[in-house]
Amino acid sequence: MEIRSDEIATNRYAPDADRAINLYSTGAAEGLTLGQLVAAVCVRTAGALEEQSVNKMNRMNACTEKLEKASECMRRIAEDRMSDWTAEREYLEGEVGVVGLPDGLDSHEKRMQAVDAVKKKLEILTRQAQEDMIDMQTLISRRDMTFNTSSNIVRTMGNSKMNAAGRMI
């Protein structure tokens, strides 16, 4: 399953009275208060982090799919249930990146050689998947922190306006 970044509803605009400020265009930040500008930058940063998270998730999904297919192939090799070794070998070498596969599986030793080669690549892919998961958690944490910072700024701005209005009464 692939997630496209345009499917994620991220607001990359800072409110300014009745209109939205697009900070992607030059000159759009004129007239913004410091709080509005900081909030807009935080929201924009959070959107960029969200997009990075989506891209990382798509790469992780592809890696997981490779792991599952390679594991199933390794089981079939070990159980001597391989029907088309040539096609499986091409997939393992080309798509998964397994090296050291034998030309045929006509003996127990060649099957074990193939299993060992696939197992080595699975270990590498598993380590990479764990590292990707840590990276993903870091991205999500940074995104959440940025959204929280933006929310706190907006809340503080609202509270300071209410306090100023209360002093005027």
- The model's confidence at residue 16, banded by pLDDT at 50, 70 and 90, is very low
Per residue in 78-90, pLDDT tens? 888 888 899 999 9
Q: How far is CA 81 from CA 95, 101, 114, 123, in A?
A: 21, 17, 13, 23
What pLDDT digit, counting tens, does each position of 96-119 carry?
Answer: 999 999 999 989 999 999 999 999
Q: Of the candidates 52, 7, 41, 8, which has an alpha carbon nearest to the alpha carbon of residue 153?
A: 41
Least confident of 17-21, 32-36, 46-50: 17-21
